[in-house]
Structure formats: C-alpha cells, structure tokens
Structure 1
Amino acid sequence: MNKVRGLFLAVAAVVVSGVTLVAPAAAQAACPDVQVVFARGTGEPVGVGRVGDAFVDALRPLVPGKSVAVDAVNYPASLDFMRAADGANEASAFVQNTVATCPDTQIVLGGYSQGAAVMDIITVAGAPTLGFVNPMPPTVADHVAAVAVFGNPSIRLLGGPLTALSPQYGYKTIDLCNGADPVCSNGNDRPAHSQYVEAGLTTQAAQFVAGRLATEAPITTLAGQTHGG
C-alpha cells in the first residue's frame, strides 16, 4: 500500500512558477480502471478486513475487463473512535491524489463498522470538524462511482443512513445493515454485526457497485446539484 501511495505522490502533477509538470505517460498508463478505497472495522488487522476482502472478491468478476486496485485506509481502527478522523484524513488525501493523477479512474469508497464512519466523514463533512482537516472538494464526487458501507453507525448516531445524509454521494451509495445489528439499527442482535459476509450483503453491495460502474455518473456542480445520468 505504501508503494502505491508513494507512486501517486511521486507522479502527481505539480505547479512551479506557473509551469505545470505533468505526470509521465508510463505512470498514467498504470492507473487502474477501478480504485477501491476501503476502511476496515474496529479491531480488524491491518488491511481491508474480512468484509472488505469479501466485497472486493465479489466485485472483481462482475467487472470483467477492468483492472481493480485496492487501497486499505491506514488508521488505528481501535476503541478510540475519535481516531476515525485519522482514517478520514488519510482516505481523503488518497482519493484526492487519485483524482489528480488518474482522472479517468472510477473510485469506489467502502467501509465496515468504524470504517463506514470513516466514509461518512469524508462524504458528509464539507468543512473541518472534530479532527477531520482534509475535506474533499465538491468536484471529487464526479470521480466517485459508488459508495458501499456495512454496519454503519451513522444510522444511530447521525439520525439516518448515508444515502440520506450526503447530497453529493447519497444517490450512489448502498448502506447495508444486517437485520437487527445494534451498531446500525435499534435492534439487539450482536452476532449480526459479524455476519455481513454470511448474510450475502457483500455480494449485494458488489452487484450494486458493478451497476454503478457500468453507468455514467452525473456531473456534480459546485452547488452540489446533479445533472445528466
């Protein structure tokens, strides 16, 4: 992952004294067709986590002929939930670098549990807040084809699913809660929070995302309105 991030930083276009230095053609050619950015859940080992792995594995065969790269958001995923802002800052920076260096790449955002909260932050917060200091410009939404979140605490903490909370990203989001999972509903079925793969919800999300990748995303204006289809 560090090598991939280093590549993006190294080949990013920079402006020096009014002269734009464009990334080398070889680096541009290495851009994936689809870039998945996924944040794991609390306590999961470094990587995209079990839900993220299942989601990506289900997605790949649904987009034949397209290269799919995966970035695991680098953040603690610990019981210190305020550190989700660290993940949001890291994810936002990676997405913005991808847009700058690979403008034709379709970006897919995803997260499970606390990782879903990371995605809530970068798609809802338009200004710095509670440790999140790197909001994404509105134009970034044009490059994000889909968002898939699982066991999202926003439903309880923010009063609704991401589909309703984000004008720019909500319509391209699938926000899945497994039955009475208490993290994302008023239920009390704790085991449900660990059964997103078994319940087939990672496959459902992959099918939704594949559909989004196959259609042209609307153009989002600076005012957050959408046009086209």
Structure 2
Amino acid sequence: MSSVASLSELFPSTVQGETIKNNPNELGQEDFMTLLVTQLENQDPTKPMDNLEFISQLAQFGTVSGIQDLQGGFSGLSSVLYANQALQAAGLVGQEVSTSSNMGYLAEEGGELNATVALPGDATSLKLYVQDQSGQLIYSRSFGATEQGNLNVSWDGTDAEGNTVAPGRYRLSAEAWIDGQNEAVSVYPRQRVESVSVAGDGSGVLLNLADGSQVSISSVKSFH
C-alpha cells in the first residue's frame, strides 16, 4: 500500500528549512507559503478548507510573488537608468551650465563671467548688478529696451572704476522695467563643469563646478 506524503515532506524547504528575511517586519514569499502549509496541516478534517478559499489564497501567493518579481525588475531598470544618466553627465565636462543659483564664479583675473537674464515680458529698460560675497555693489550695467525671453550677458571682471577685481564668487542680480513697473528678474550665471560624481546615497548624479561647489544635474537650467 502506497503511503501519502505529508505537506511537510512535499515542502521541506518551506516548513522545515530556515527562512532568510531581508526585513523582519515584512511578509516574504517563503513566510506566506509556510502559513498556508501550516493552515492546511492543522485544518479540521471534518471541515476542510473550501476550494474557492484555497484557490483565493494561492492567487494571493501568486500576487505576492509577482510583486516581488516586479520590484526586482524595477530595481534593475533603475540601475540601468542611473548608469545612463551618469554617462550622459560625463559628456558635460568642460562645458558651461546655468543653475538655479545666482552666484557666479570669476575663474581668473581679467576673465569674464557669463550669465543669462530671464525676462518674463518686454522690458523698456534693464539693469544688471554684480556684488561681492559681502554684499557690496562693485559693478552695474544698463541696457535699453529688451524683448521677452533669455538675454545673454557678460561681465568683464572689472569694478565701477574699471579696475580688475580678484577671482572668486560674485552674486548677480537684475531689475527690469516691465509693464510700467520695476521688478527683479532672474539671473543665471554660467559655470564650467570640471568633473562628475555619483552621490553616495544613490540620489543622483552631481556636477562638480569650477568654484568647487556641487549641484545636482536636475538643478541645471541650461547647457552652453
């Protein structure tokens, strides 16, 4: 007479084996199977589990397994996209970028600092200001009527008397007369990208700029 194997024998790795958990607070695939097998072994023989209920639990098991497979797939896709972003960012080395900061960097004495002024409307007049890190105004320049859009401007690294200033970080700002009102407008200085780094926490790709600062590639406004 042939013997009928118990559920423990059919699923030895599930019931008797040691389950490895990535997170003790999460119900994993092996945990789910262990609970199902235990339920079947301890059910009342006179009131066996309903077929529909059993199928429902198997479907839940399949859903858990499928979700885990999807999570693994998305994790792999994320790694590929992350590596691709780093590769694209490496192509920016040596180029200039504009970020959301209005701090610019004069790389050398007698050099130039380029920037982009964003005008939300047609301006009858425009004025550009350059301040040092202490907030002292060292240079200003007036422009005539300027159309709405992005205006490329440059500062030659001199003060109001025409004297050459020292290399370093400078703050750029601008005001424009638009629709009969004088309002502050955004200025985005450009900086050279010296190298690219990958954030240690996996949050993204960082650009190392000429002034020694780091910015996320997502904060870049434009490339030049």
Q: TM-score, normalised by structure 1?
A: 0.18
More helix by share: 1
Structure holding more strand per residue = 2
TM-score of the pair, normalised by structure 2: 0.18
Larger Rg: 2
* Structure possessing the higher relative contact order (Cα contacts under 8 Å, 6 or more residues apart): 2
